[in-house]
Chain A
Amino acid sequence: MTSTRQMVVTLCIVAVICSIVLSFVYAFTSPIITETKKNLTLNGLKEVINSQEFVEIIPDTLWRAVDSSGNDIGIVFRVFPQGYGGPIPITVGLDFDGKITGVRIASAAEGLKETPGLGVKITEPDFRKQFIDKCAPEVRLRADGGEIDAITAATISSRAVTEGIRKGIETYINYLKEKYDKGEVFPDAQQFVEVIKDTLWYAIVESDTIGIVFIGVTQGYVDCIKFIVGVDNNEKITGVDVVYSNETEGIGETICDEEFLNKFKEGMPEAITGATISSQALIDAVEENLQRFKEYLK
C-alpha cells in the first residue's frame, strides 16, 4: 500500500516533467507552424489572382492583391459556405471590374468534407473555371437563373459553392472601391517610402523628402469616408482624393467631384451647400490629420 503523499508527489513530478518537455517542443515548433500556415495561405491566394504580394485587410479573410510596383490589382477573399458534409473553404480573387479572376476550393486532403466521388468534384477545374470572368449577378446555378452548370448528383455542393461565392462578392465588393494612387495626390514625387504601414508615406525626389502622403478616415453621412492627401514641405496641399465613400448619390457623393477636391490645393474649402455633413466631415478630417502628421514634414 503506497502512502497518499507518495502518490501525489509522483503524479506531480511526472506532470511537471511532461509540461516542461511540451513547453520546449512548443517553443521550437510554434514559429514553424505559423510560417507553414502563412505559406499555405499565401500559395492559395496566388492561385486565384496574378499577384505576388498581399496586404491583409481582415485577418484570414480578406486581402488586397498588389503587383510588383505596388499598385492594387484586386482583392482576394475567403468564404466557408455550408455544403453537404460541412463548410467548404473557398478562396476567390476579384479584379477591379468586380470580375472573378480565379476560384480555389480546398481539396479533401485539406479538410473538404464533401462526399468522395460526388461533392468532391467541385474542386475539379471543369467546375471552377466556369466562374472566371463572371460578375456577381451571373454567379448562380442555371436552375436559379444564372450561368453556372451544377455537377450532376452534387447539386447541394454546387449550389453551396455558387451561393457562397456570390454572397462573398456582395460582402466584400465595397473594398474594391478602395483603389488609390499616391502619385495622383502628389504628382511631383518620384517615389514613395512607407513610414506608417498603409497610412503614411514620404514623397521622395532624388533622395530628398519633399513632402508626405497620408490616408485618413472619417465618418460621413451614410458610411465612413476614406481619403488620401498629399502635403509638401511648406504644408501646402498637393492633392486630395477620396479613396472610399458611400454617401448619398447626387448629394453627399459630390465630395468625390474633381471641382471640390481641387479646391483643397488653395487652402481649406467651404462646405458644399446641400452636402454639408459629408463635405464638412471631409474638410475637418483633412485638417485634423494634417495637424497630426505635420511633424513628419522636414
Chain B
Amino acid sequence: MRRWQLFTRGIVKENMVLVLMIGLCPALATSGTVRDGFGMGLAATFVLLFSNIIISLLRKKIPNEVRIPIFILVISTFVTIIDYFMQAFQPDLYRALGVFVPLIVVNCMILGRAEAFASKYSVLDATLDGLGVGLGFTLALTVMGAIREILGNGTFLGIVIFGEGFKKSPVIFMILPPGAFLVIGVLKALINKYVRKEIR
C-alpha cells in the first residue's frame, strides 16, 4: 500500500508541474503540441527513472561531500544517451524540442528527486518514485500540449479536428507562450478544486 502511494503520489497529488510548480521551463516551452509534450515527458521520465535507480544503488557508496557532482554526472550521462537515441530514431522530434533535450540535465525536478528521495531510499522505492513523478510530468505536458494544439492549431497529433475553417484561423494565442501560462493556471485551479481539497 505504501509502495502504491509512492508510485501514485507523483502522478496527480504531487504533480511536479501542476502542483509543485517545478520543471516549468520545459513544460512551457515544449507543450505546444501533443507530440512535443509527450516526447519531452518520456525523455524526462527515462532520465528520472534511471538516474533514480543508479543513485539509489550507489547511495551507500557516495561520499556526502561530492554527492551533487556525482548526481549531475549520472543525470547528464542519461540525458546524453536519450539525446543520441532521439537524434538517431526521432530526428523530427529532436529538432522540434531543440535545446530542451540537453537542458533536462539542469531540470531541478530530476536533481530534486535524486537528492530528496533516491539517495535515501531503496532501489524499488526509487524506481516507483521515478516512474510516478515521470508519468506525472508526461501527463501534464501531454494534456497541456493537447489543449494548446487543439485550440491553437486546430489539430490533434497533426490531424485536423474542427474542420479546415477553424484550422485556418485558430486561437493562435494558445500556441504562443502566454497560452502555456493560461493552460497551466487553469489546470492548477482544477486540481486544487477537485484533487487537493485539503488546501481549501
Listed in ascending order, the chain A residues whose CB lies under 8 Å from chain B are 2, 6-7, 10-11, 14-15, 18, 21-22, 25-26, 29-30, 32-33, 36-37, 40, 108-111, 115-118
Contact = CB atoms under 8 A, between A and B. Distances in A.
Given A10-B62, A10-B70, 11 more contacts: A2-B65, A7-B66, A11-B69, A14-B73, A18-B74, A21-B77, A22-B77, A29-B84, A36-B88, A116-B176, A117-B170
Nearest to A34: B88
Nearest to A8: B66
Given A32-B88, A109-B96, A110-B95, A117 B70 contact: no
Nearest to A21: B77
B127 interface: no
Contacts of B66: 7, 10-11
Given A10-B70, A110-B92, A111-B95, A116 B152 contact: yes
The 4 closest A-B pairs by CB, nearest first: A117-B172, A2-B63, A32-B88, A29-B84
Contact of B96 (A10, A14, A30, A110): A110
B185 interface: no
- Chain A interface helix/strand/loop/mixed: helix
Which of B63, B64, B81 has the most C-beta atoms of chain A within 10 angstroms of its own C-beta? B63
Contacts of B93: 109
Contacts of A118: 172
Contacts of B63: 2, 6-7, 10
Nearest to A15: B73
9 contacts: A10-B70, A11-B69, A15-B73, A18-B74, A18-B76, A25-B81, A26-B84, A33-B87, A33-B88
B96 A108 contact: yes
Interface string B154-176: 00000000000000001010011
Nearest to A6: B63
Contacts of A37: 91
Contacts of B70: 10-11, 14
Interface of B: 32-33, 35, 58, 61-66, 69-70, 73-74, 76-77, 80-81, 84-85, 87-89, 91-93, 95-96, 98, 152-153, 170, 172, 175-176
Contact of A117 (B73, B77, B175): B175
B61 A10 contact: yes
A33 B84 contact: yes
Nearest to B87: A33
A125 to B, nearest CB: 14
A118 B169 CA distance: 10
Nearest to B148: A116
Contacts of A18: 73-74, 76-77
B88 A29 contact: yes
Given A18-B74, A22-B80, A109 B92 contact: yes
B85 A29 contact: yes
B88 A40 contact: no
A116 B73 contact: no
